[in-house]
Structure 1
Amino acid sequence: MDKVDQRRTQNSPVVSTLAVLLGLVLTLGLVATAGPAVAAGTVLLTGFEDDSSLRGVTLADPEHDTATRSDAFAGEGSSALRFTLAGTRDSGSTIFPRVWLADGTTLQPADWSSHTYLQVGVANASATPTTLYVVVRDLDGRYLQRSLAATPYDYRVFQIRTADIAGAGVDLDRLQHIQVSAARSGEERVMFVDHVRLSDTAIDESAERAAVVPDLLALTGAADVLDRVDAELAQARELLGSDGGASYAPMKAWIDQVAGRSADLRQRLDQIATPAQLQAMLAELAELTAAPARLMQVLDVRSRRPDGLFGLDTADSMTLVYPKDLPWPSTGPEPLVELARGETEHTQLVVVPYGAALTGVSARVLDIRGPGGTAVPAEALAASVTPIGSLYTVPSSAYNRPTYTGWTPDPLRHDLDRVDLAARDVQPYLVSVDSGTDAAAGTFRVRVAISADGQPEQRITVTVKVWPITPQDRPELRTAFQFTPWLAWDLHGITDPAEREAMRLKYWDFLAEHKIQPDQIYTTAFDPAKPGPGDFRPQPVEDIVKIKERYGLKQFTALYLWAGLLDPNKPETWDTQIDLWIGQLETAMAEYEAAGVADQAVVYGFDESTGPLLRAAEHTFARIKERFPDLPTMTTLRDDTFGQSTGLVEEVDIWVPWVDGYRYDLAEQARANGERVWWYHAISTRYPQPNWFNGYPPIDARMLMGPMSHQSGVEGVLYYATNRWPRADRGDQLLVDDGILSKWNPATYFGTAGDGSIFYPGPDGPMSSLRLENVRDGLEDYNLMQELRRALAEHPDAPAGIRQRAEAALGATAVVRNSRDFTEDPASYREWRREVARTLQLLAQS
C-alpha cells in the first residue's frame, strides 16, 4: 500500500481485537421483508423499487463512496438505496460523506406545501453507532437540517414538518435535493435510505422500526458468525487436549460455557422481533465473537507454562490489555526494551489465569544484571513493575471509531501490592525501565517474579538494550498544559493552606517527571469553566520563580484574556476591560522583570474565538502590544490562515491551531514572518486523527507528542486541561483508591472519558496512567529526533548512504504521513525508533 501500511490493519493490535468484537458480517442479497403499507394521504417521493429511481442520485465523494439499489433491506416495498461510506482507514478520504436525492428526478414531483410531514427512513446497517442527518435544500442554498441517533443495525424515520422547512426559509416550490449523511468512521459503514414520502399522518416510528427487524437481523450475519464461533471453539478443544493437570477442568468448563451460550443464542435468533431484542442479541454476539480468540490465547500461554493455574505473557506498552472479554495484543514470552540514556521505556507483563480465580497476585523486580551477570547500580538502570488498573468506560460519540465498552486499562495502581483476579480475567502490569544519563551502553537483564496464593511462582526476564546516545533531559517540544490545583485539593479534601501547597508541589513534581512543565494557561485560582469578573489574574511571581528553580522555565502564561468578558456586539465597551487587563499586566510584568522571568512570559487569550470576537481579539492584542511590545501574544482563535484572512498577522506571535486546521505550508509562511506555530487537540479532534481518550490506542498519544509533532514542525503543544475532575461527576468515588477495577468515573467532559484528564487523583497524590506514560515517551522520542537533526548538521560529509538513511528516519514517513495517516502498529513504531538510534550511531562513527 502507498499509505503507511500498518495503519489500522490486521497488524494493529487494537484494531484486530475490536474487529473481533465488532466485526459483524454484512450478508447482502437476502430477501427483504416488506415494510408497512403506505398510509392514506401519503405521496411516495421514492421507494427505490427500480433502477430508474437512481437517476438524480449523486455523491459528495464518488471516488470513495457508492450508492446502489439493493433488495437486502426495505423500509417499504422490496428494495432500498444502499449508501456505502468508505472508511478512513482504507480510503484516506476527508470529505464528509453525503448522498443527494434530486428533486424532480430521484424524488417525484409533488406539492410539498399541501402535506404536513416529510418522512425519510434511514437504516444504519453497521456495527457501530452513529448520528444520521437529513437536509432539505432549495435552489438558493437555503436549508433545514435534522439529526437522529442510531444504534448499530438500527432504523430511524425522520419526520419533519413541511411548515418547519418553509419556516427555515426553504422555498418548497424550488427544491434542489434531500441530503442524507453520517460522519465517516474508520471502518466502512453501510446505510439504507427508503420510503421517502410526504404525508398528512404522523408516523408510528416504533412500528416501522419493528417491521424491519428481520431485514436488519439478516444483515448482521448472526448465524454465520455463530458458525465461526463454533468452529473456533472446536479448535480450542483440540488445543486443550485430554484430561490432565489442575487447569484442565476450569478451562474445559470455560469452553463448554461459551459453546452453550452460542447454541442458546442460535435457537433464539428466530424469536427476535423488536429493536431492543436485536440490540441485546448484538451485545451477546459481540461477546461470543471475542471469546474463542481469548480462549486460544490462554491455551497458548498454558502450553508454554503448564504448571499451576496461571501463566505469563507480554504486550507492548503502546497497546491496551483489557482485563475482560477481548484478546490481548501479545508480544510473546521474550520481552525486549530498548532505550537511550536518560530515557524511560516500558513493556507490559500479562498475568493469565487458566480459567480459575487467583488471589493475592503480586509482582516484584528480582534483580538487574549486566554483561556476565554483574550487578547494576540503581543510578545506572532502575526497573519497577506496577499493576495497571481499569475503569468502566463507555465511549461517547466523540470517539468516532469502534471502541470497546467495559473495563478499560489505564491508571497505574502503585497503591496496590496485591490483586485478586476473577477466573477469566487477565491482569496487565507495566514494567518500567529508567536509564541514567551515565549508564553504560549494552544489554542487561531484568528479572520479574509473579506470585499468587497457593501457586508456584512464575518468572520472566526482560531484555534491556541501552543505546550509546544521550538526548537532552528536558523536553525540546514546548508544552502549555493546564493544571488546576483546586480540583485536586477538592477531591483530596485539603483545606489547610500549607497542605494545599505541599499537594500542589507533589503534582508539579509529577508533571515535571513526565516532561511537562507546570503551567496555568487559564490564570485563575478558581474554576476556569465558571469564571466571573476579576477571577482571572496574572500568575504570582513566586510561583513562576519556584517553577524555574525546580524544573527550568521555557514559557509561562502571564495572564489569560477571557473573551467572555467582552461583548462582541458592543465594541465601545471593550476598552474598559482591556484597561483592566493592562493594569494587571503592568504590575505583574514589573514583578516578573525584577525576578528575571519576564522574557519567558506570554499572554494567552481568545480561546477558540470566531466571528465578531476576531475583531475584539485584534483590538485587544494591538493595545497590549502597544504597551508591551516584547510580550508575545498566543491564541487558539479560529484562523487557520494564521492572520492572512483576518488581518491579525501583526497582533499574534504564537498561533495555536487545532490539529485538524494545521496547514504546513501556511505555518511555514508564518514562521518565515517571525511567528511561532504550535497546535492543540481537544474533544473535537476525532478519528482518524490522534487523541488520548480512555480506550484509544495509547500509541496515539506517543505519536502526537513525538514524530507527528516533529514532522509537522510545530514548536509546542497546548492542552486545555490535565485534571478536569469536577467533584459533581465523581459520585462517591472521589479518588482512585479502591480495587483494581475501580469505580472512579472516567467520563470527564460531556461524557467523554479522558478528555481533559490524562492522570488520576490517587490515595496520596497524583497517579500516572498508561496514556501519560506514552505522552512522556513521545516527548522523549521528539528529543531523540532532535539529536538526529543536530547530528546531520554536524556531519555534512558523512557517506551519502548514511545521510539518506538518517534523513529518512528523521522524516519519520515510515510511521506518519500526516495527522490522519499514521501507524498504530507498535512493532512498526519501534522499528522506526530503532532506525533513528542506528543512524545516530552511524553518523557518530563517520
Structure 2
Amino acid sequence: MRLLWAIALCISLGAGAPLSAATILFDFETDEDVTLWHDERKTTLGDDKRLERTQAFAASGQFSMRFWTARWRPEEHGGAQKWPAFEGKPPITDWSRYDRLVMELVNVTDTPHQLSLFITDSEKPTRQGLNHREVIPAHARIQAVIPVRKGFAARKVDATDIQVMHFFTEDPPEEMVIHLDRLLLLEPGEEIPPLPASYLKELAALQAPHVQKARSDLAEAAGRLEEAARAKPRLAEWAAEEIAGLQKRLSRVEAALAQGDEAVLDAPQAMARLRQEAAGLESLLALRLRFERIRPAVQVGSAEDVVVGFASSMEKVLPRAGAISLQTRERVQIALARNEKESLQVVVLPCERDLKRVQVRARDLFAGPGRRFSARNIQAVPVGYVETRATPPYGSPHIGWWPDPILDFMKDADVAKGDAQAFWIRVRAPKSQAPGLYHGKLEVLVEGRPRFAFDLAVRVYDFAMPDASPLPLAITFSPHDHPTDQTKEVQAKWREMEEYPINAWRRHRSRWADFLADYYITYDSLYEYSGWEPNFDDLARLHRQGRLGRFNLGYFPVYTEEGWPDVIKRIRARYEKAKALGLLEYAYIYGCDEHPKEKFPGVERAAAALKKEFPDVMVMTTTYDHSFGQDSEIQSVDAWCPLTSRFDPERVAGARARGKEVWWYICCGPHHPHANMFIEYPAIEGRLLMGALTTKYRPDGFLYYQISIWNSRKPITGGPFTDWDPRSWTSYHGDGSWTCVGPGGIPLATIRLENFRDGLEDYAYARILEATIARVEASPQLHERRAEWLKTAKAALEVPAEVAQSLARYTDDPSAVYRWRDRIARAIEAAGTPPASPWGKAAR
C-alpha cells in the first residue's frame, strides 16, 4: 500500500496546520498503472480508445493518465449508441477503512464530457455496483469526491472485496480527452491533500484563453446593449454601468490566474457566473424595454427602476440565475371552477436598488352590480428559495437557489437589487361562488405604498371540484429524516430538539391532516414506521367532511410461518376499528415493496393469506412483476403498482380483464425523459403527471412513498432565502419531500405540491366531462338534441399531442395545458344539462 503524505505547514499565531494523510490508489507513475486497464471481460483495450501516461496535469508525481476516445453521434450511425469504457482491478481491494474515493479529472477539449464509474466486488454484476457520474465542463477540472462507504452500503457491495473499477462514457458528442490522476482513498476525518503548484499553473494556462474569450464576449455584449437601449438613454447608462462592473470582476479573475495559487480553482466558476450574468443582463434589458411599453398604464407611484412580470404556476422562476423569461402585460386572467384553487406568479425585479417590504395585494373583484369575488379568496405571499449545493443523481441545469416553499406566514419580502422575487397568487373559488367573469385590481406595494396596479380578471366556471381526490391515492405522510454518513452524528443530536421539524410538526397534527386534505392527500402511511398507527380520529373527521381518501391498514411482508400471526393480529385490530367507524370502503393493505422475482412465491402466499382474512379490503403491491400476474404465480393481489415508466397499456388491459386494478407511481425514478417532481425538474411535470397523463393513460390510482423527509435543523421562520435543506432521500433534492415546516411546526406547501393538486383538478375536469357525455348519451332526447355537442365534447376530452404524446414526450408550455383545460371547461358548460359527477354527487 502506498501512502501520500500531503503536509500543509503554515505559521499563524505560532500554530502549525494539522497533518493530512491519504492512501494513493493510482497516480500513474508506472506503466503498470496504465496497462492494467482493459475492456470489459477482455484482457486488452479496444481500438476505440487510448490510455497513455503523460506529464500534463499531474496532480501527484510527474504523470497523469490521458483517456482519449473518438466522437460518436448515434444519428450518424443509424441510431446505434456507444459506451467507450475501460476497467481494471485496483491494487487495493479492501476498502472497508475508507469512506471516500477522490480523483482529479481535467477536460482539455472545447466540449463538456461525462465520465462515469462503476465499482463492485467479485459477486455483484458491474452495473449493480456503486455508480458515480461526473460532467466535466469544457477546459475545466473536476475534483470527484465519491462517498464509497455510503454507496457500497446502498448497493450491498462488499467493501472488503473490491475487484472492478469500470470507467465509461456515453456517445461522446466530440472527440474526448480527459486526464485522470491522483485517485485517493480517504478514511473518515482525513482531509484531501492540497494540490501541487505545477498542477495549479497548468490549470491557470488552461483557463487563459477563456479569459480572453470572456473579455471579447463582454465587449460584444456592451455593443448589443448600447444598440438595444439607444432610444432609452437612462437604460443605456444603466446597462453600461453593469457591463463595466462585470469587466472589473473579469480583471480580478485574470489577476488570480496570473498568481497561480489555489484561487485558480475558483476561476472556472467565476467565469461561468460572469457569462451567466452577462446573458442575464441582456435578458433583463430586453425585459425592461418591454415593460417600458406598459409602464405608463400600470405604474401608480415612483418605481422607474422596477420591473414587474408574470409567470404561470407551472414555472419555476430562478431568483439569481441570469436570463429570465416573464410575461409583461397590463391585464392578467385566471380561470377556475367552484371549490377549486388556481395560482399564478407576480415577479418583482428591482434593477438598480434594493426594495423593502414588497407586497402584492388584490382588491375585491366584481362581475356587475351585487356580484362580488371577495379579496379574502385571493392570497398573495412570497415564494421561498432553497439552496442546492451539488448536482443530484438525475442532473441539474443549475446549482444554487431554487424556488420551492410557499411562505404562507409572510405577507411581504425585502428584495435585493438584481433578484427576481416571485409572489404566489393563490385564488380560491368558494362552492357558492356565482359563475362569471370578475374584474378588479392586483397591486404591487413597496413599504406600504402602491407602486403598480394591474387589471385582474377571474373567471369562475359553472361546475365544481370534488371535496375528495378524483383519483385514488396512497401517499405516505410520516415525517422522518434521512442522515448521510457525514450528518448522522449531528442529526442524532437534532432529534432531541423540540424545534427539529420531525418533532415540531406534532404540535399541529390535526392541522397537518386538514392541510393535506386541502391537497387531496389523506394522512396515511404505506409503511409501519416505529409507533405508527392509522389516526382514526382524523380519518373519521375527514370522512364527516367528505374529504377522506384511501388509507392503509398496515404493511405486509413476504409470508413466513413464524411471522404471519403477528401480521394478521396487527391488521385485524385496525380492520375492526375501520369497520366500526364505517371507513372500511376506504381501506387498503400495502406490502412487499419493490420485491424482485425470487420473492414472488412469498408475495403470493402473503396476498392469499390476507385475502382469506380480509376479503373486502384491497391488497396492493409494487412488487416487480411487470406482467401484473399474467406470467407469474402471484394471483391474489388486487392492485398492481408499477413505475410510470413500466406502465404498459396492453398488459394493463389484460390485468383489468382479470379483475385487477393497475395504479402507477414515481419515487427516486424514473428520471427524464419521464416526468417526476424533483426540485430541479420543471414544475409543469407534476401537473401533467396528475392531470393530462393520468387522463390519457387512466391508471387506477397513484402511489408515492413519502412527502415528509426533512433534514433541516429547524423550521423555516423567515425568507425569502431560507436555510431549509433541500436534500431529502440520500443526495436527491425533493424526492420524498413535497412539504416544508414553518414557524412552530406549521405546514407549508411547495410549488410542487401545488402543481400536484392542480393536476388532479385537471383530471377532475376530464372526469366531469366524461360523466356528462355519458349522461347525454344515455338520454334519447338529449342524445339527439346534443349530437354536435357530443362531437365537440369528445374531441375536447382527448389529450392533444401539443400537451402529451407519450409518457416520455410532453409539453413544457403552460399555455398548452390551459388551452386543453379551457376546452374541457367550456364543453362542460355548453352541455345543455347540469354537469354530471362521477363521484356520486352533482358537480354543480
Aligned counterparts of 1:456 and 1:770: Cα–Cα separation in 2:
27
Give the SS at the match of 2:524. coil
Q: CA deviation at 1:327?
A: 3.1
Give the AA of the match of 1:346.
S
CA drift at 1:691: 2.0
How far off its partner does 1:543 sit?
4.4
Indicate the residue corresponding to 1:451 in structure 2: 445
Match of 1:707 in 2: 692
Which of 320, 323, 329 is matched with 2:325 structurally? 329
Structure 1 position 675, deviation (Å): 0.9
Instruction: Spell out, residue by residue over 1:780-834, the C-alpha distance to the aligned partner (whole angstroms, 9 max, x if none).
Output: 0010111232244345555579637733642343211222211112122222222
Query: What does the per-residue CA deviation read over 1:226-263, in whole Å, with 9 as the maximum and x for residues that have no partner?
Result: 54443333333445558977x88766543431243345
Paired residue type of 1:707: A
Match of 2:712 in 1: 730
3-state SS, counterpart of residue 749 of structure 1: coil
Answer with 379-388 or 424-433: which moved more. 379-388
Coordinate RMSD, CA, aligned: 5.1
Counterpart CA distance in 2 for 1:216 and 1:551 is 66
Question: 2:513, 2:538 within 8 Å by CA — same for their partners in 1?
Answer: no
Assess, with a 3 A threshold, how the Cα gap between structure 1 residues 362 and 541 changes in structure 2: closer, same or farther.
Answer: closer
SS of aligned partner of 2:642 = coil
1:315 to 293, 311, 321: 311
Counterpart CA distance in 2 for 1:614 and 1:599 is 28
1:597 corresponds to which of 564, 569, 583: 583
Q: 2:395 corresponds to which residue? A: 400
Residues 135, 512 of structure 1: alpha-carbon distance in 2 compared, 3 angstrom cutoff: closer
Find the counterpart in structure 2 of residue 261 from structure 1. Answer: 249
Note if 1:416 corresponds to 2:410: yes
Q: TM-score normalised to the size of structure 1?
A: 0.74
2:277 to 273, 288, 291: 288
Point out which structure has higher relative CO (alpha carbons under 8 A, 6+ apart). Answer: 1
CA 1:86 to 1:708, structure 2 compared with 1: closer, same or farther past 3 Å? farther
Give the CA deviation at 1:302.
5.6
Q: How far apart, in 2, do the equivalents of 1:616 and 1:127 lie?
A: 51
Q: How many residues align?
A: 733
Tell whether 2:116 aligns with 1:132: yes
1:789 equivalent among 737, 761, 770? 770
Give 2:190's aligned residue: none
Written as runs of structure 1 = structure 2, the 5 A alignment for 1:800-815 is: 803=791, 806-807=794-795, 809-815=797-803
Alignment of 1:36-185 (within 5 A): 57=48, 80-84=68-72, 98-99=83-84, 132-133=116-117, 149-153=133-137, 154=141, 181-182=168-169
Partner SS state of residue 676, structure 2: coil
> SS state of the match for residue 724, structure 2?
coil
1:344 matched to 2:341? The reply is yes
Q: Which amino acid aligns with 2:582?
A: G
- Which of 680, 696, 703 does residue 665 from structure 2 map onto? 680
Distance 1:443 1:85, change over 3 A: farther
Measured at CA, do residues 744 and 617 of structure 1 come closer, stay the same or move farther in structure 2, by a change above 3 Å? same
Q: How much has 1:370 moved relative to structure 2?
A: 1.7
Contact 1:137–1:144 under 8 Å retained in 2: no
Shift of 1:606: 1.6
Q: Which residue of 1 aligns with 2:154?
A: none
Q: Is the 8 A contact 2:356 2:447 kept in 1?
A: yes
Instruction: Give the aligned partner of residue 734 of structure 2.
Output: 754
- What CA deviation, in whole Å up to 9, does each residue of 1:676-732 have, x standing for no partner? 11111112332222222223221111111111122222121111112222xxx323x
Amino acid at match of 1:832: W
Write the mapping of 1:12-51 to structure 2, written as runs, cut at 5 A: none
Matches within 5 A, 1:267-278: 276-277=265-266
CA distance in 1, matches of 2:690, 2:77: 25
**Residue type of the partner of 1:398?**
P
Cα 1:754/1:446, change in 2 over 3 Å: farther
Q: Which moved more, 1:451-460 or 1:702-711?
A: 451-460
Q: Report if aligned partners of 2:505, 2:747 keep a CA contact under 8 Å in 1.
A: no
Q: Which residue of 2 aligns with 1:355?
A: 352
Give the AA of the match of 2:555: Y
- Tell me: CA distance 1:517–1:329, structure 2 relative to 1, closer, same or farther (3 Å): farther
State whether residues 311 and 347 of structure 2, in contact with CA within 8 Å, keep that contact through their aligned partners in structure 1. yes
Question: Are 1:324 and 1:424, in contact at CA under 8 Å, matched by a contact in 2?
Answer: yes
Which of 703, 721, 725 is 1:741 aligned to?
A: 721
Measured against aligned partners, the alpha-carbon deviations of 1:126-175 in whole angstroms (never above 9, x if no partner) come to: 9879551369999xx9899786553532478999xxxx9xx8899xxxxx
Shift in Å at residue 286 of structure 1? Answer: 4.6
Q: Please tell me whether residue 610 in structure 1 is matched to residue 577 in structure 2.
A: no
Name the CA distance, whole Å, in 1 between partners of 2:612 and 2:127. 45
For 2:809, the equivalent position in structure 1 comes to: 821
Q: 2:703 pairs with 702, 715, 718, which one? A: 718
Matched to 1:133, the amino acid is L
- The percent identity for this pair of structures is 22
Structure 1 residue 609, shift from structure 2 partner: 2.3
Q: Please, which runs of 5 or more residues in structure 1 have no aligned partner?
A: 1-35, 48-52, 59-66, 68-72, 104-111, 171-177, 198-203
Give the partner amino acid of 1:347.
L
Cross-structure match for 1:61: none
Structure-2 separation of matches of 1:126 and 1:680: 40
Work out the CA distance in 1 between the residues paired with 2:194 and 2:651.
49
1:454-511 CA-partner distances (Å, limit 9, x unpaired): 976221122223334444443211111111268899986599x9x9887111111111
Distance 1:263 1:439, change over 3 A: same
The residue type equivalent to 1:730 in the other structure is S
Other structure's SS at 1:575 match: coil
**Aligned AA for 2:750?**
S
1:588: which partner in 2? 574
Judged with a 3 Å threshold, the aligned counterparts in structure 2 of structure 1 residues 775 and 46 are, in CA distance, closer, same or farther, namely: closer
Alignment partners' CA distance in 1, 2:590 and 2:78: 34
Letter in 2 for 1:556: F
* 262 and 45 in structure 1: CA distance in 2 versus 1, 3 angstrom threshold: same
Q: Displacement of 1:448 after TM fit?
A: 1.6
